[in-house]
Structure 1
């Protein structure tokens, strides 16, 4: 009887031991299955994470405010809207002569500029913008020989200047060796105060060119680590809408055609700070077909050193000063300026 019970107990014990061994075996398999299930999503999620990390860290041009005078090449992101405002004060230390010399301007002339630029990207690789400038001119202590008809020695005037609308298309993206290229077309409208001028205002009421200015050009950009290089070549063809009253009646006028050739270099020196250096120039030539207008472009070459600060992801600031170094038949300006660029 005891042997039978022992056999039964032994049989039960065997079953228990067999069950324990099976449970241990299954339990031993469970962690592998769990780790495999836990590992699968990690393996599936890892490639996108690595790809995105590579995208962020891929060598490319860092974000900057952009040049202060030269136009940019790369268009704004599709569907984005941005606004840029400049505050600039021009002082006139001299006037350029026909032989590239600077002489006294004959008085204390100043101009405050506040252009406002509205930018929009309607589609891929295309950017459009409109620039609306506010201009305030004033002069005092003018030389006796340059005074007005009633011996005026000071004057001032303010007005909206010529409004410019531009569209540019990035037809060639930046490559390993090739720069990005953008075609530019635009029109300057004669919205300034360029006619019916008052001699008593000593020329300070002459704001704007009084002409439709048709713009065609090319912008370029290349990132040559660590420098960001910007280039601009614009051909401007102004068509005057006003006439000069001559002795034999009104005379058709046409301002000189001119070429803008600008180069800008940006050097990021910290996460939020960028150094800027620009060389700007305007080149004009005599148009022999028509009489020259009252206001006409000049030939000038100058530089602008500046610094940029990236305040936030949407706001960038820049400050600098332009100085006309050489010129012909025009005014010489020294212009400290600041600008703010905000992306909505």
Structure 2
């Protein structure tokens, strides 16, 4: 009897449509089987509104087979301070900035399969540093620009979305150590560290659920670096970390979509990452944003990311603007 009750409650939660959405009923008339089948088909045809997807987090549903898209994101980070090992705000002792422009190309080689490559351009620069952290020859400003680590990712739709279940995508990727991360020059005040100095292997899952009118996303990834360098002072070495992101979209109109994201990295040190110049750090932040569809192929999204909590790392405020083109 208890199992029958659970089944009945689940059936009601998944199948009942609000009365306001059913339209006026004909008095004393029972819908015939043909009409019921047509209504079911119409319900099945209803799809979630088209959106750009999260700006920081990864989307879930793979691109259509033999379709492609190009995304160019521009971001400028301002560093108002640092996070201490005790999760407190501390001074950055100078003005630090990072201009980031990753270019992402996505392609669907087969049904339910997506592959993409990200090539980032990075420009770090700082000025007006305190004398206590000046370079070996008294340098108090520096800059460095170049290509960061190139990332290749594949994801496959493992479970499709149903009325009660989110869509589930499995993710696997590799970050290649193409960014400058070795023989760091002390005179550049750390600005020449634009790579991780490691092959970073990523595995995880992406989730998606449409609960009308909201669209929810989640990423849970494990990132495992294989560090190339052993020097503790002149090389970057990365720690293992878990990425946990949440995002929600709300379509305001057919062209405008509101976006809110929570992004986080949770980092720990293992025996392969002794003390040294290391990245990334534990971090949690929020990013409100907006999306706009110019045409069916062109779209824009913009937002500002605020690092709210962290441990032993940088604290940033980052305005972002992204342009999308679908082939």
The 2-side partners of 1:245 and 1:66 are apart by: 39
Provide the secondary structure at the position in 2 that maps to 1:200.
helix
For residues 292-342 of structure 1, the C-alpha deviation after alignment (integer angstroms, 9 at most, x for no partner) is: 452221111100000000111111110100000010000001000100111
Q: State the Cα distance separating 1:72 from its structure 2 match.
A: 0.4
Query: 2:88 corresponds to which residue?
Result: 101
Whether 2:97 is the aligned partner of 1:114: answer no
TM-score under structure 1 length normalisation? 0.81
Within a 5 Å distance, the mapping from 1:79-228 to structure 2 comes to 79-228=66-215
Query: 1:72 corresponds to which residue?
Result: 59
Whether 2:310 is the aligned partner of 1:327: answer yes
Q: Is the 8 A contact 1:166 1:184 kept in 2?
A: yes
For residues 275-306 of structure 1, the C-alpha deviation after alignment (integer angstroms, 9 at most, x for no partner) is: 00001111011214541452221111100000
Query: 2:300 corresponds to which residue?
Result: 317
Structure 2 residue corresponding to 1:294, chosen from 274, 277, 283? 277
Whether 2:267 is the aligned partner of 1:280: answer no
The 1-side partners of 2:213 and 2:146 are apart by: 42
Q: Is the 8 A contact 1:255 1:292 kept in 2?
A: no
The 2-side partners of 1:325 and 1:318 are apart by: 22
Report the more deviating stretch, 259-268 or 283-292. Answer: 283-292
Q: Is the 8 A contact 1:148 1:200 kept in 2?
A: yes
For residues 87-106 of structure 1, the C-alpha deviation after alignment (integer angstroms, 9 at most, x for no partner) is: 00000011000111011101
Report the more deviating stretch, 181-190 or 307-316. Answer: 307-316
Within a 5 Å distance, the mapping from 1:243-282 to structure 2 comes to 243-244=230-231, 255-282=238-265
For residues 233-260 of structure 1, the C-alpha deviation after alignment (integer angstroms, 9 at most, x for no partner) is: 01000111112068xxx99x95310000
Q: Which runs of 4+ in 1 moved over 3 A?
A: 54-58
The 2-side partners of 1:118 and 1:314 are apart by: 15
Q: Is the 8 A contact 1:136 1:157 kept in 2?
A: yes
Q: State the structure with more CA Rg.
A: 1
Query: 1:35 corresponds to which residue?
Result: none
Structure 1 residue corresponding to 2:220, chosen from 233, 239, 253? 233
Within a 5 Å distance, the mapping from 1:40-59 to structure 2 comes to 58-59=45-46
Query: 2:319 corresponds to which residue?
Result: 336
TM-score under structure 2 length normalisation? 0.85
Q: Is the 8 A contact 2:79 2:314 kept in 1?
A: yes
The 1-side partners of 2:247 and 2:173 are apart by: 21
The 1-side partners of 2:152 and 2:65 are apart by: 18
The 2-side partners of 1:78 and 1:55 are apart by: 25
Root-mean-square deviation (CA), in Å?
Answer: 2.0
Provide the secondary structure at the position in 2 that maps to 1:321.
strand
Q: State the Cα distance separating 1:61 from its structure 2 match.
A: 1.1
Unmatched 5+ stretches in structure 1: 1-46
Query: 1:24 corresponds to which residue?
Result: none
Q: Is the 8 A contact 2:75 2:101 kept in 1?
A: yes
Q: Is the 8 A contact 2:148 2:179 kept in 1?
A: yes
Query: Against the structure 1 CA distance between its residues 289 and 120, is the aligned structure 2 distance closer, same or farther, given a 3 Å change threshold?
Result: closer
